[in-house]
């Protein structure tokens, strides 16, 4: 495999400097490496000789409204039923969370509403709608029960997610810290914005090739070129080789093509993802890799290693550490979308 990536990569040693740039405009049914989505103001690209600047999210628009603030911006009384309902909705989106994470979304921004949330979670547990199956440090990890998921579905509170698990087995098996880090990533990337547009553990499968993997989180945020963004979190538990292999799986997924056309005709091939998964997208969705679970200097080393391991990849890959993301610092672009290079790497399927 020839590595010819033009991706902007971090320099070893001292922390890089940054400059702001806009995402590129789409062009054509399957865009080239110079194409992408538009105006993502909290992402910056690596260049030399510039000073780091934080990326902002702009005006917050929460899909789970804060019970401490009315629509007119005036203070209002916390309603126990509303706190419970918001907690159910949030757990339906992120699957598992601590009281700290729940309070960050449900209660007024800048307020410490953990006491309200603790009381609400106790009531939900008594009703059989939520439960704890483990802890993150000293803090219980909450998840919905099957009855809680059913209550959400019956209330039409979220888009249908028939295959979504409760997260209880993952927490019981010891994977709670990973799930909590995924929730922290979701909150750091969008805070209160569009929380109900997230899904976790989304499967991507191509039966013909046997390729199958779960994406930690998917955000449905349509742009001019793509309808979703993909998020993978490494909580410091994967080997360097496995992390790189998981990132390369996205290129293999993006590179697979399928024939369409009646038997006996020439037909033509199309990208599998564009025909059967992300049908409204012009470019393959960007992959965001978030590194967590270790001291920050070790995360920097891991970022450098991943940059080297995915050199030449032909899908858009941006990487950040969770501490930097929580501080509002920009992403590294370490892979660019290049459908033409993907077609060279992955052979056409045999005609029918």
Cβ(283)–Cβ(35) below 8 Å? yes
How far is 30 from 176, CA to CA, in rounded Å?
38
Per-residue pLDDT of the chain (352 residues; tens, 9 = 90+): 434 333 454 433 333 333 223 333 233 333 333 333 333 434 433 322 222 333 333 333 334 544 444 333 334 345 888 889 999 999 998 999 999 999 988 877 656 778 889 999 999 999 999 999 989 888 999 999 999 988 888 887 776 666 677 888 888 888 889 999 999 999 999 866 678 899 999 999 999 899 999 999 999 988 889 999 999 999 999 999 999 999 999 999 999 998 876 555 566 889 999 999 999 999 999 999 999 999 999 999 999 999 999 999 999 999 999 999 999 999 999 999 999 999 999 987 765 5
pLDDT for position 196: 85
Beta carbons within 10 angstroms of residue 302's beta carbon: 22
pLDDT of residue 164: 73
Crossing angle between the packed helical segments 80-94 and 146-154, to the nearest 10 degrees:
110
Q: What is the Cα–Cα distance from 30 to 150, expressed in whole angstroms?
A: 39
- Pairing, β 96-97 against β 139-144: antiparallel
State the pLDDT at residue 266: 64
pTM of the model: 0.78
**Cβ atoms within 10 Å of 332's Cβ, excluding its own:** 26
- Cβ–Cβ < 8 Å for 64, 191: no
- Rounded to an integer, what distance in angstroms lies between the CA atom of residue 82 and that of residue 102? 13
CA 26 – CA 28 distance, rounded (Å): 7
Question: Got the DSSP string for 101-166?
Answer: HHHHHHSPTTS--HHHHHHHHHHHHHTTSEEEEEEETTEEEEEE-HHHHHHHHHTT-S---TT---
């Amino acid at each position: 495999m020839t590595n010819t990536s033009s991706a902007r990569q971090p320099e070893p040693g001292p922390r890089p400097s940054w400059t702001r740039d806009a995402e590129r405009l789409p062009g054509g049914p399957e865009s080239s490496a110079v194409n992408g989505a538009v105006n993502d103001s909290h992402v910056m690209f690596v260049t030399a000789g510039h000073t780091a600047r934080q990326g902002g999210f702009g005006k917050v628009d929460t899909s789970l409204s804060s019970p401490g603030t009315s629509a007119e911006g005036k203070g209002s009384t916390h309603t126990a039923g509303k706190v419970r309902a918001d907690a159910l909705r949030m757990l339906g989106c992120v699957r598992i969370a601590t009281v700290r994470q729940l309070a960050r979304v449900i209660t007024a921004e800048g307020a410490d509403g953990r006491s309200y949330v603790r009381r609400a979670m106790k009531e939900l547990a008594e009703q059989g709608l939520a439960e704890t199956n483990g802890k993150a440090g000293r803090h219980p990890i909450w998840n919905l029960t099957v009855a809680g998921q059913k209550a959400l579905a019956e209330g039409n509170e979220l888009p249908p997610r028939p295959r979504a698990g409760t997260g209880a087995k993952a927490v019981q098996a010891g994977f709670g810290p990973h799930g909590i880090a995924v929730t922290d990533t979701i909150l750091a990337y969008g805070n209160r914005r569009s929380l109900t547009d997230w899904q976790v553990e989304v499967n991507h499968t191509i039966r013909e090739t046997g390729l199958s993997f779960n994406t930690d989180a998917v955000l449905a945020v349509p742009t001019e070129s793509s309808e979703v963004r993909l998020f993978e979190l490494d909580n410091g538990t994967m080997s360097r080789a496995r992390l790189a292999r998981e990132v390369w799986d996205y290129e293999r997924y993006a590179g697979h093509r399928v024939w369409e056309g009646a038997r006996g005709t020439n037909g033509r091939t199309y990208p599998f993802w564009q025909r059967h998964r992300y049908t409204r997208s012009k470019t393959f969705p960007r992959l965001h890799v978030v590194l967590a679970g270790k001291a920050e200097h070790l995360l920097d080393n891991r970022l450098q290693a991943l940059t080297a391991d995915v050199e030449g990849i032909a899908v858009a890959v941006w990487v950040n550490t969770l501490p930097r993301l929580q501080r509002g610092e920009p992403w590294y672009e370490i892979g660019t979308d290049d459908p033409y290079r993907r077609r060279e790497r992955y052979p056409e399927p045999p005609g029918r």
